[in-house]
């Protein structure tokens, strides 16, 4: 990297650090987890989008589209569709539980303490896994681009994220997310602008994009399975829910999700086209190494620094949000600390989850895979009972527990059996969860209205 690139990168990192002095440490659980519920639409949208857009939604999609064509953009857009539906129907309803700080609180209010504890355990496990997995990816990127030792890069970058996330709480996360959103939204699409002049002169752009639409020959069943996974896989993950709960009003939460849905769809199209065009410009590079090759081949001095800064932004903005959710879930849902209690335990929990995630990312990648099993059981355990808790006035606690256990066990078992008949574990688990919920509701003698029953559909505008 040239000295201009290094100054751009260092300037960006100093700006983020400087901004953190403005935040000051969080002093109460409400400040730490929800930031006093003060964020307006555009800020809530930016933090939501920055959290969702990790390496998988950027370089991951570029590689998939380079190998398999633009059909991957359609697959990824099922995530956008999920954000849209969540925004329209569910995110505002999270505000019907004014005492809730975590999703576990909502599950606990409707289905009892065991449900809250289970939600907390799953949240903490997959957050540690995600922090570790992202740390591993970031180390490789930084090593390739800057030539710094990968271990050193992982330790330094993750420790910075752990520190600001543990001390500043969600306000520090959201402020850095906003800066990170701006730099990633400006830096990464620049690659597309720089690709266009490099295409061969006689090149038929629209024909090439249409011809490579399904270059990998994905069949209907594979497409359906992937679409299902992208729709449900990240359904109301704790960091997304935290952003709905910390928005200024239910209406603001709804707008933030709708904007994030629209932005993510545009983003996916952009990444997909970067991948397909990148394959035409650099035909000899393997699909999964395409991003690095493009960055090194296309970017002039100065811009390279900006793109590297954008890459650190993509990584840190996802890590910090998961760390915040894990810290709060560990303290509230598992250790049952009251919201009024001191923050020492919460901050310690954040540091612990971050350090454990980082260390296993560095030294035992096989455990990262084990932890990411918790990520794969998120939707099958939580989605059915959570949606029911948000939508129905009366739910039976036993139905919620049955859905969580039935969905989780089925997913793990189905995956262990090698996904019989080609049905994804997620799909089998969701079906089992729904079935268990219905059975539990029918068999339960009298589903009583629980303390956290949503108020009438007062959602604000």
Partner 1 sequence: MMVWLQVLALVPMATGVVVLLSALRNRDVFRNH
Residues that bind partner 1 (CB under 8 A): 19, 22-27, 31, 35-36, 38-40, 42-43, 45-46, 168-169, 171, 174-175, 178-179, 181-186, 188-190, 192-193, 196, 205-206, 263, 266-267, 269-270, 273
Nearer to partner 1, 315 or 368 (CB): 315
Nearer to partner 1, 210 or 221 (CB): 210
CB atoms within 10 A of CB 119: 28
* Shortest Å, Cβ 27 to partner 1: 7
CB atoms within 10 A of CB 237: 23
* Shortest Å, Cβ 269 to partner 1: 6
Nearer to partner 1, 53 or 358 (CB): 53
Nearer to partner 1, 316 or 362 (CB): 316
Tokens 């983003």 sit on residue: 267
C-alpha 2/C-alpha 8 separation (Å) is 10
Cα distances (Å, whole numbers) of residue 99 to 29, 35, 108: 12, 14, 11
Look at residues 272, 297, 271, 302 and name the one whose alpha carbon lies nearest to residue 284. Answer: 297
Q: Annotate 188-215 with DSSP letters as a single string.
A: TTHHHHHHGGGS-TT--HHHHHHHTTTT
Nearer to partner 1, 88 or 205 (CB): 205
Contacts of 327 (CB under 8 A, 6+ apart): 32, 165, 166, 346, 347, 349, 350, 353
Contacts of 208 (CB under 8 A, 6+ apart): 276, 280
Number of H helices, E strands in the chain: 21, 0
C-alpha 290/C-alpha 280 separation (Å) is 11
Nearer to partner 1, 193 or 211 (CB): 193
* Shortest Å, Cβ 189 to partner 1: 4
What is the enclosing helix (H) or strand (E) of 35? none
* Shortest Å, Cβ 168 to partner 1: 7
For the chain, the maximum distance between any two Cα atoms, rounded to a whole number of angstroms, is: 73
Nearer to partner 1, 31 or 234 (CB): 31
* Shortest Å, Cβ 179 to partner 1: 8
Q: What is the DSSP letter of 39?
A: B
Residue 296 corresponds to which tokens in the numbers above? Answer: 């090194």
- CB-based burial label for 289 (10 Å; 0-12, 13-18, 19+): middle
Tokens 């952003």 sit on residue: 243
* Shortest Å, Cβ 255 to partner 1: 13
* Shortest Å, Cβ 123 to partner 1: 23
* Shortest Å, Cβ 218 to partner 1: 23
- Sign of the CA dihedral with 377 first, then 378, 382, and 383 last: negative
* Shortest Å, Cβ 409 to partner 1: 41
The dihedrals phi and psi of 247, each to the nearest 5 degrees, come to: -70, 160
Nearer to partner 1, 229 or 317 (CB): 317
Nearer to partner 1, 9 or 175 (CB): 175
Nearer to partner 1, 36 or 451 (CB): 36
Contact 117, 369 (CB under 8 A): no
* Shortest Å, Cβ 38 to partner 1: 5
Helix 113-146 to helix 103-111 angle (10° resolution) is 160
């Amino acid at each position: 990297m040239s000295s201009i690139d290094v100054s751009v990168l260092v300037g960006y990192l100093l700006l983020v650090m400087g901004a953190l002095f403005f935040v000051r440490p969080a002093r109460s659980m409400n400040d730490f987890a929800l930031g006093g519920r003060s964020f307006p639409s555009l800020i809530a949208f930016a933090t939501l989008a920055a959290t969702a857009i990790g390496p998988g939604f950027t370089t991951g999609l570029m590689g998939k589209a380079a190998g398999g064509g633009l059909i991957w953009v359609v697959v990824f857009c099922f995530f956008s569709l999920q954000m849209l539906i969540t925004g329209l129907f569910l995110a505002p309803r999270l505000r019907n539980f004014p005492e809730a700080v975590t999703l576990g609180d909502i599950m606990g209010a409707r289905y009892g303490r065991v449900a809250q504890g289970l939600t907390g355990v799953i949240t903490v496990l997959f957050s540690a896994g995600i922090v570790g997995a992202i740390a591993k990816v970031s180390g490789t990127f930084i090593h390739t681009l800057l030539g710094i030792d990968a271990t050193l890069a992982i330790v330094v970058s993750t420790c910075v994220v752990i520190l600001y996330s543990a001390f500043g709480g969600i306000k520090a996360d959201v402020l850095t997310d906003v800066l990170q959103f701006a730099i990633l939204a400006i830096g990464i699409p620049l690659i597309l602008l720089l690709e266009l002049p490099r295409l061969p002169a006689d090149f038929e752009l629209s024909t090439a994009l249409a011809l490579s639409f399904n270059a990998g020959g994905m069949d209907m069943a594979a497409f359906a399975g992937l679409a299902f996974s992208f729709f449900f896989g990240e359904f109301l993950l704790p960091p997304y829910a935290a952003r709905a709960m910390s928005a200024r009003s239910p209406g603001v939460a709804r707008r933030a999700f709708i904007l994030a849905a629209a932005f993510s769809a545009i983003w996916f199209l952009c990444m997909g086209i970067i991948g397909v065009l990148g394959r035409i410009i650099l035909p000899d590079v393997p699909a999964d190494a395409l991003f690095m090759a493009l960055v090194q081949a296309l970017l002039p001095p100065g811009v390279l620094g900006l793109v590297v800064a954008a890459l650190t932004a993509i990584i840190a903005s996802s890590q910090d949000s998961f760390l915040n959710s894990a810290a709060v879930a560990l303290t509230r849902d598992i250790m049952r600390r009251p919201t009024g209690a001191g923050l020492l335990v919460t901050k310690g929990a954040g540091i612990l989850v971050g350090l454990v995630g980082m260390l296993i990312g560095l030294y035992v990648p096989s455990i990262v895979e084990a932890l990411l099993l918790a990520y794969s059981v998120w939707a099958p355990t939580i989605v059915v009972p959570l949606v029911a808790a948000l939508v129905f006035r009366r739910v039976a606690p036993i139905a919620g527990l049955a859905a969580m256990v039935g969905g989780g066990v089925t997913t793990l078992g189905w995956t262990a059996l090698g996904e019989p008949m080609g049905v994804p574990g997620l799909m089998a688990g969701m079906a089992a969860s729904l079935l268990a919920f219905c059975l539990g509701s029918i068999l339960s003698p009298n589903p009583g209205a629980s303390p956290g029953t949503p108020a009438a559909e007062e959602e604000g505008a």
